[in-house]
Amino acid sequence: MLRELELLEKSPAVKSYEILDYKEGNSFYFLKIRAELADGSVLYIREFVSEEDYNYSFQWQKDGRLTIRWDNAPHHRDVETFPHHKHVGSQ
């Protein structure tokens, strides 16, 4: 988790951020962050990291509308980079 926070704190693109949720166990952590960017857009970060699993979603929005989201939810099996994929705009 520290890597994500260090990147947010050092980036000139990040105006501020808030940790919305954080849970940690012996072999996992779950993190949700809302970051306000310098251009007024918002980046939502969600990560679950364990020894067996890594699930993520990075959603960037402006004026409440989805700009782009990157995630590894196990749908869109036809995508070459499955399960990693992106959603653009209203997709």
Tens of pLDDT, residue by residue over 58-86, are: 999 999 999 999 999 888 778 788 888 88
Q: Which two tokens stand for residue 72?
A: 């590894």
Return d(Cα 14, Cα 36) in angstroms, integer.
6
Residue 6 per-residue DSSP state: H
- Indicate the pTM of the whole model: 0.85
Report, as an integer, the average pLDDT of 33-53.
Answer: 96
The answer, yes or no, to whether residue 1 has pLDDT greater than 60, is no
Report residue 27 as tokens: 């072999």
Q: Give the C-alpha separation, 76 to 54, whole Å.
A: 18
* Lookup: tokens for 87: 């959603």
Q: Is the pLDDT of residue 29 over 80?
A: yes
Instruction: Name the average pLDDT for the chain.
Output: 90
